[in-house]
Each structure stands twice: as structure tokens, then as C-alpha cells.
């Protein structure tokens, strides 16, 4: 209130002699423009304002003005909160989507590695099986394709559970009778 009263009486124009400004604190924010507010040309350096009685209507208007400012500020905060909440939800959803994408990528990579290892394992088993058959064929002297095919048929039939093999009918009877 004190500064308002000083501004009303003194104005905001700089004095003609700026040396006077440096001696007091009254010229801290003075204006050097020609259209400045000249005030009432009163020097109020040692002015002391006593009690001022304001009418109830003025106080009521001031209170209503303050309430409107507070309501506007509250609404602004609520809008900022809503915007911040939406941005936060959007960022959260982006992070969740990235996590799901990384999870799916990890699972796909794991499946790829598993399938590749199964393929490599199967290839190693088949390669070992082929090498074992080649060693067997060489050791028993099976050099022709017919002999090799006959041995492959024999190995396949040997795995059949209901097949009984024998050289003669007597061997079959011995096997059946026990």
C-alpha cells in the first residue's frame, strides 16, 4: 500500500537531475519516456500513512476479485494436471508397448535358437548314423547298392515288434514253443 501511494503521488518519471536518484531509492524503476505518469508532483520521502478505512463494497469487490483469481488458478492447475496425466499415460503405454515388443522379440529369438539347435543336433545324429553305416558296410564287405539296401531293410524289419525272424521252420517252432 505504501509503494502504491508513493507511486500515486510521485509518479514514475525520473527527476530532471539524475544525481538526485542515486541519493534515494525512489528512482529504482523510474521511466525516462515523455509519456510517463507525472503523479501529483509531491515528494513523499518521509510520508507515513495512518489508518485507512475502506468501504465494505470495496472490500467485497476486492475479495470477489481474489476469489475469481484463485478459481482461475485452480482451473489452470486442473487443466495442467489433466494434460500431464494424459502425457504420463501415453508415455506409460509406450513403455508397455516397447516391453511387449522386446518380450516378443526375445521369444522369437529363443524359438529360432531352439529350432537351429534341434536342426544342428539332428544333422549331427544323421551324420553319425551315416558314418556308422559306412563303417559297418566296409567291415562286412557290402560294396554294392543291393547289399546295402538289403541290410537297411533288415535293420528296419528288426525294429518291428511283431516280426519273428528265423532261418528254418524248426527255429520258428522253437521260438514259438519257447
Write down the pLDDT at residue 102: 96
92, 86 in Cβ contact below 8 A? no
Please state at what angle helix 56-140 crosses helix 145-158, rounded to 10 degrees: 120
pLDDT of the residue at 172: 72
Burial class from Cβ neighbours inside 10 Å (0-12, 13-18, 19+) for residue 27 reads middle
How far, in Å, are 71, 76, 82, 87 from residue 68 at the CA level?
5, 12, 21, 28
Name residues of the chain where pLDDT drops below 50: none
Distance CA 141, CA 150 (A): 13
Q: Give pairs for 88-93: CB < 8 Å, separation 24+.
A: none
Q: How far apart are CA 92 and CA 100, in angstroms?
A: 12
- pTM for the model: 0.42
Nearest-angstrom CA–CA distance, 91 and 157: 66
Q: What is the pLDDT of residues 15-51, one digit of tens each?
A: 666 666 655 555 666 666 666 766 655 555 666 767 7
Amino acid at each position: 500500500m505504501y509503494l502504491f501511494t508513493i507511486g500515486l503521488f510521485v509518479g514514475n518519471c525520473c527527476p530532471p537531475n539524475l544525481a538526485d536518484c542515486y541519493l534515494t531509492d525512489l528512482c529504482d524503476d523510474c521511466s525516462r519516456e515523455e509519456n510517463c505518469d507525472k503523479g501529483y508532483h509531491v515528494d513523499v520521502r518521509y510520508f507515513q500513512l495512518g489508518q485507512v478505512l475502506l468501504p465494505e463494497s470495496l472490500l467485497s469487490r476486492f475479495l470477489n476479485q481474489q476469489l475469481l483469481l484463485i478459481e482461475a488458478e485452480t482451473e489452470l492447475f486442473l487443466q495442467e494436471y489433466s494434460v500431464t496425466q494424459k502425457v504420463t499415460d501415453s508415455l506409460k503405454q509406450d513403455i508397455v508397448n516397447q516391453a511387449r515388443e522386446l518380450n516378443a522379440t526375445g521369444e522369437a529369438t529363443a524359438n529360432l535358437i531352439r529350432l537351429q539347435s534341434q536342426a544342428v543336433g539332428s544333422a549331427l545324429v544323421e551324420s553319425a548314423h551315416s558314418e556308422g553305416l559306412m563303417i559297418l558296410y566296409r567291415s562286412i564287405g557290402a560294396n554294392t547298392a543291393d547289399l546295402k539296401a538289403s541290410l537297411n531293410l533288415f535293420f528296419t524289419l528288426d525294429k518291428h515288434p511283431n516280426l519273428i525272424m528265423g532261418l528254418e521252420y524248426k527255429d520258428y517252432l522253437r521260438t514259438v514253443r519257447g
